[in-house]
Amino acid sequence: MRPFRFIHAADLHLGSPFAGVGAQSERVRERLREAGYEALNRLVGLAIAEKVDFVLASGDLFDSEDRSLKAQLRLQKAAFALADAGIRLYAVHGNHDPLSSGYRARLDMPETMHVFPPGEVTMQHAVNRAGEQVAEIYGISYAQQHERANLAARFPVLPGLAADSRLFRIGLLHANVDNQPDSTPYAPCTRQDLLRTGIDYWALGHIHVRQVLHESPWIVYPGNLQGRNVKETGPKGAYVVDVSEAGEATLRFCALDAVRWEVKRLSISDMEDEQQLLEQLSALLNEAMPEAADAAKSDLSGQERSAVVRIILEGRGALHETLRPERVAEWQTVLRESSPDADRAFVWLESLRAETLPALDLEELRASDSFVGEMLRAAARLKAAPPDLQQWSPTASLWAHSRIGKHLDDAEPGETAAWIDEAERLLVDWLGDIRLTPGSRGENGEN
C-alpha cells in the first residue's frame, strides 16, 4: 500500500445566514456572513500547504437546497484552486443540499472534483499527486432532504483481504450514527452497520460536534468547518489524515474557523460592587482575543481569528439584586460600545445573561427549623467527626462500584471534609430558597 495524505472535512454550510447577532452591528454581521467562505479558503490553503492528495467533503456543502449563487461560485473557485495544486475533491450532498431539488447553477467544475450521486453507493479510485491509485472511495448523496433510509446498509460488505494486498477503503456518508442527540435522525444507522463493511475509514458528516466513534477501522465526525451560532462553540475545522504503507491512519485536527463562538461563565459570589463586575467582565472579553489569536496559529492561513462570546453571570452574591433585566441590558450595551474594526480580528459580546441567586446567610439557614437547616446541621456534625466513608452505609456502595471505587481508593485522607464542604455548597445552591418547616403543608394538605 502506498502512503498518502488526505483531508476530511464536512458540513461547510456555505451561504449560512449565521444566527445570534441582531441589529447591533452591521460590521459584525458582515464578518459572520463571510466567515464560512473564509473557512473554506483556509481549508484550501491547508490542503495546499500540507500537500495532500485529495480532500473529502462529507455533505452539506451548502446551507440550503436553494443554494445561493455566491455560495456556488465560492465552491467553484475553491475546487479550481485545489485542481491547480493537483488536489482532487470528493464530495457527497446531505440533508441541507440534496441533489434532486433546489437551485443549481450551470457552472463548470474541474474534472478533479467528483460528486457521488444519490440512489446507490458508487466507488471511485482515489489517486495521489503522482496519479497512482491509493484508495477506494465509496459514497452516496442524498436525493431528498428528509432521508430516513439507512444509507449505510447500501454499502457493500468488502472481502477481508490483508492491507498489503489491497487499496485503503474510505466510506463517504452523511448520516446520524447511533442516534446522536440534538440532531435530526437523517440516514440513521449504527456503528455495527459501518463496521460490518470492511471499510478502513468512515468519513462522516451531519453531526457538528467533532468526535471519533471508533478506531481501526476509523469512524469519524470532523464537525462543521465554521461554527454558525452560540450552540456551536469551540474550535472548528478538519482532520488531516496520513495513511502509512501498512494501512494505518493517523489523524491530526486543524482549526480553520474564521470566527469562534464561546460561552463563558462568571460567578458574582466574591464581588462586592459594580466596579468589580466591570473589571471582571472586561477581563473576560479581553481573554477571548488572545485565545482566538493563539488558536489561529494552528492553521496555516496566517490570518487572525475573531470571537463571538456569550457571558453568563451565575452564583450567589450581593450584586444579584442589581441584575434585573433592564440593568443587564444596560451592561450589555456598555460592553458593546467598542465596535470592531472591519478589517481586524474582533471580540463581540453576543449577549450577557444573568442566572444569579440572592446571597444567603448560612448561619441563619443552619439555625432555621427547615429541611435545609437540618441538612446543614448534619453536614456540620459530619465535618466535626468525619466518618469512614468506605464503611459508612450511605456511601459504602460507591466503593463497591467497579469503576467509581478505583478513583475513590486514591482519595487523600483530608478530602472527606472537602467533599462535605462541596456537598454543602451544592445543597445551598439548589435548595437554599426553601423555607418550609418540617411540619408545613402545601395547598392541598400534602406533605
Residues 245 and 388 in one domain: no
pLDDT at 410: 57
pLDDT at 204: 98
Give tens-digit pLDDT for 145-166. Answer: 889 999 999 999 999 888 778 9
Residues 161 and 61 in one domain: yes
Q: Which structural domain, as residue segments, surrounds residue 283?
A: 260-358
Residues 145 and 240 in one domain: yes
288 in a structural domain: yes
pLDDT at 193: 97
Residues 264 and 250 in one domain: no
Single out the residue in 256, 273, 302 at which a domain terminates: 256
441 in a structural domain: no
pLDDT at 359: 84
Residues 62 and 202 in one domain: yes
Q: Which residues of the chain have pLDDT under 70?
A: 19-24, 290-303, 338-343, 387-391, 393, 395, 405-415, 429, 432-447
Give the chain's domain count: 3
pLDDT at 360: 78
442 in a structural domain: no
3-state secondary structure 152-206: HHHCCCCCCCCHHHCCEEEEEEECCECCCCCCCCCCCECHHHHHCCCCCEEEEEC
Give tens-digit pLDDT for 405-437. Answer: 666 655 555 667 777 877 877 777 677 555 443
pLDDT at 163: 77
Residues 199 and 302 in one domain: no
pLDDT at 272: 93
Rounded (10°) CA dihedral 82, 83, 88, 92: 70
Residues 276 and 350 in one domain: yes
Single out the residue in 256, 279, 305 at which a domain terminates: 256
pLDDT at 390: 63
**What CATH number does the domain containing 78 carry?**
3.60.21.10
Q: Tell me which residue of 107, 136, 264 sits closest to 203, measured CA to CA.
A: 136
439 in a structural domain: no
d(CA 11, CA 153): 22
247 in a structural domain: yes
Residues 202 and 331 in one domain: no
Helix axes 69-84 and 26-49, enclosed angle (nearest 10): 20
Residues 248 and 273 in one domain: no
pLDDT at 41: 97
pLDDT at 15: 93
pLDDT at 442: 37
